[in-house]
Amino acid sequence: MKKKVLHLFYFILFITSISSCSKDHDDRDDAQNQYLVSSQLVAEVGADEIKSRLPQAAPLISSSVKAYKIAYKTEFPKGTSITASGLVIIPDKAPQTLTLLGYQHGTITTQDEAPSAYKPIGNKEAYLGGTIGASLAKGYIVVMPDYIGFGDSKQIQHLYQEKASLASACLDMLKAAKEFANEKKLETKKEIRLLGYSEGGYATMALHQTIQEQGDEWFKVEASYPAAGAYDMVGTAQWVVSRNEDLPPGATSFYLWTLLTYNNLYQMNIPLTDMIKPNHAAAVAQAISQGNPLAAPIPNNPHELFTTAFIQGIQNGTNMPFMAALERNNVYNWKPASPLTLFHAVADKIVPVLNAEKAQQTMNALGGNVKYISLGNMGHREAIPNYITTVLARLAF
């Protein structure tokens, strides 16, 4: 009897130890997610519906997709952990190994436009470009960060056109997406591709450079396709202040947003009245106090908005604080180790084509393999559909 009890004791001990080991293993699996916090299915889109969204891309579309909102860990400011968010779109039919496609969205001004707020209509980049990208037969998991200031990090002011925060938020989102793919038992390559338009083109360049210079153990950029970005912040600012004409609606608000971001971030503390004419400075100050600087009614002509002294300081390079901030946020003066294709419309009067020309010239002079493809004689907003169809053709193969 004693022996039986002893055997039973050891048997229970053995089972308990197995159970304990199993639990420890599960905990370690959870702990392996350094970046992914949570995921939530937000939409399922059939292949036929995707084809109807962009009929000219229909021959390239081969799969239905599922869209997930992802919450993930990143740092802002550096050293301070926060939760940010984004969208991950995965195909239902896919090859054995998938490629992460980092898709950085263009300038947005409302929370409803953030990729993670994916809706059947309205959110055009995620709804159209992101969905189609994930449906391609080549096999992509599309990764669209909201950026800090949107989605789960909306309590933080978005740092518009700020290189470091865009690059880190996008890179950490890619890492969270890879962890999400692992949870879904989806195999992904180390090689990734990157694309984005407008602020997304700028973010794509910043992200590509960051991955390459960090020698990131997670990823290697296979190719990137940035479009219509202000890669040369100095040259763009000088172009803007030289315009004595009405630019497209909203353009001057975006330029002002950049200046306000840098003025606060780098603690320059330059008074609004030193940058903006007094009759507009009051309206901008009121909009800032209400939490939305873009709501201020300002003229579309830069010469009617900015003071003469500010314009001259940018044109001549004598406004040292702002020139240093602009220079710090340039994203073109480096050598890409992988193929990079720039896209830009030649008649763009929001982000001038000089950015693509300067980036191609500089990067190739450094030994890069950089091409420039014109999106035609059209404006910034009008060229977006052309970019989507043009870049899709390159992603499909």
pLDDT digits (tens, 9 = 90+) for 313-323: 999 999 999 99
Q: With bands split at pLDDT 50, 70 and 90, how would you rate the model's confidence at 96?
A: confident
Q: Is the peptide bond before 226 cis (omega within 30 degrees of 0)?
A: no
Average pLDDT, integer, range 79-89: 97
pLDDT at 7 over 70: no
The predicted structure's pLDDT at residue 1: 44
pLDDT at 27 over 50: no
pLDDT at 13 over 50: no
pLDDT digits (tens, 9 = 90+) for 210-256: 999 997 789 999 999 999 999 999 999 999 999 999 999 999 999 99
Pick the closest to residue 181 from 320, 289, 35, 51 (CA basis): 35
Contact predicate 380/248, CB 8 Å? yes
18 token code pair: 């197995």
201 token code pair: 């083109």
pLDDT digits (tens, 9 = 90+) for 332-350: 999 999 999 999 999 999 9
0.95 surpassed by pTM: no
The predicted structure's pLDDT at residue 53: 86
The predicted structure's pLDDT at residue 19: 37
pLDDT at 276 over 50: yes
Gyration radius from the chain CA atoms: 24
Task: Give 176-214 as a DSSP string.
Answer: HHHHHHHHTT-EE-SEEEEEEETHHHHHHHHHHHHHHHH
Q: Which domains does the chain have, with CATH numbers?
A: 36-232+332-395 (3.40.50.1820), 242-327 (1.10.260)
Burial (Cβ within 10 Å: 0-12, 13-18, ≥19) of residue 117 = buried
pLDDT digits (tens, 9 = 90+) for 354-385: 999 999 999 999 999 999 999 999 999 999 98
Name the phi and psi angles at 224, rounded to 5: -140, 155
pLDDT digits (tens, 9 = 90+) for 108-163: 999 999 999 998 665 578 888 899 999 999 999 999 999 999 999 999 999 999 99
Rounded alpha-carbon distances, angstroms, from residue 295 to 111, 224, 270, 282: 15, 34, 21, 12
H runs (alpha helix) in the chain: 2-31, 47-53, 124, 131-135, 163-183, 199-214, 233-241, 251-265, 272-275, 278-289, 302-305, 308-315, 320-328, 354-365, 384-395
